[in-house]
Amino acid sequence: MLKLRTLRLRAALVRECMAEFLGTFVLMLFGCSAAAQVKTSQDTKGQYLSVNMSFSVGVMSAMYLTKGISGAHLNPAVTLSLCVLRKVRWRSLLPFCLSQVLGAYVASAVVYMVYYDAIMDFSGGVLTVYGPNETASIFATYPSEYLTLGRSFLDQVVGTGTLMLCILSLDEKRNTPAPSGLIPPIVATIVLGISMSMSANCGAAINPARDLGPRLFTLTAGWGTEVFTCKNYWFWVPLVAPLIGGPLGSFLYVVFIEWQLPDPEPPQNLSTVSTNSDSIKKPATRWGTGGDLKSTYF
């Protein structure tokens, strides 16, 4: 066991990126597998609610798995929002996002291999984005026919903003913080609520990695360039809108909640007398510039 411990990587950022990769992989493995099962069985082995619940279980599982290493962002919009709030270093933004997209891509590939026979049977061997036997929506999100471009953009901004607005309060000590061990199921419930109430328009991606990774996979696996060109090049909406909605929801939280909470109570001064012996016994505390301090967020 001690020998295996030597395999632990020294670079904190690399460890965090590995955790983001694996966490996003688990999240997408649950969600896309459920989507494949429901789609290819034509709703006989699950319904739309099954997909929503599976994504939520994926969020909870991924958070328990990786929260202690990277904070379990699992979403570029979350990482960007925490960078804006100065809770995460900006130098972590791009590596985290790339790890999340790669995790979603690999998870899509695994789902495709697991459900290959079902997908081919359902689609007749023709992988397409359009028609009653389309299978691209198993992996990435696509808008409903009635939806305008502007309204779909608003849909993703509101959904992602709601996500950040709700989760930022969970570890706020001055409010009503959730127990640390219960944060993953609470976040999963929030995601489930958003999915159940805001997914009719365009699938409630609220996560650029959740959409881009699978879309890139379908591009390389046989669906072709239509996954990017369809619906008048709609693909950019679930990439850009969450990156606006996340910081916007964070801004609303800061202005309406964080700034309005009571100031933290000052620590009680237990003793004002110090002796030379006390100063000798107490080791000096050295604080760095902050680069080596890792806060855990979700």
Q: What is d(CA 23, CA 99) in angstroms, rounded to the nearest whole number?
A: 10
pLDDT tens-digit readout, 201-246 = 999 999 999 999 999 999 999 999 999 999 999 999 999 999 999 9
Residue-level pLDDT at 247: 98
Residue-level pLDDT at 282: 42
Q: What is d(CA 245, CA 129) in angstroms, rounded to the nearest whole number?
A: 27
Residue-level pLDDT at 40: 97
Residue-level pLDDT at 8: 83
- Taking the chain (298 residues) in runs of 10, the rounded mean pLDDT of each run is 70 97 98 98 95 98 97 98 97 98 98 98 96 97 96 98 97 94 98 97 97 98 97 96 98 97 75 43 37 38
Residue-level pLDDT at 4: 60
Q: Please report, for the chain, the start and end positions of each structural domain, with discontinuous segments joined by +.
A: 10-257
Residue-level pLDDT at 5: 67
Q: What is the CATH number of domain 10-257?
A: 1.20.1080.10
HEC-encoded secondary structure of the chain: CHHHHCCCCCCHHHHHHHHHHHHHHHHHHHHHHHHHHHHHCCCCCCCHHHHHHHHHHHHHHHHHHHHHHHCCCCCHHHHHHHHHCCCCCHHHHHHHHHHHHHHHHHHHHHHHHHCHHHHHHHHCCCCCCCCCCCCHHHCCCCCCCCCCHHHHHHHHHHHHHHHHHHHHHHHCCCCCCCCHHHHHHHHHHHHHHHHHHCCCCCCCCCCHHHHHHHHHHHHHHHHCCHHHHHHHHHHHHHHHHHHHHHHHHHHHHHHHCHHHCCCCCCCCCCCCCCCHHHHHHCCCCCCCCCCCCCCCCC
pLDDT tens-digit readout, 121-149 = 999 999 999 999 999 999 999 999 999 99
Residue-level pLDDT at 264: 81
Quickly tell me which residue has 């679930």 as its tokens.
Answer: 238
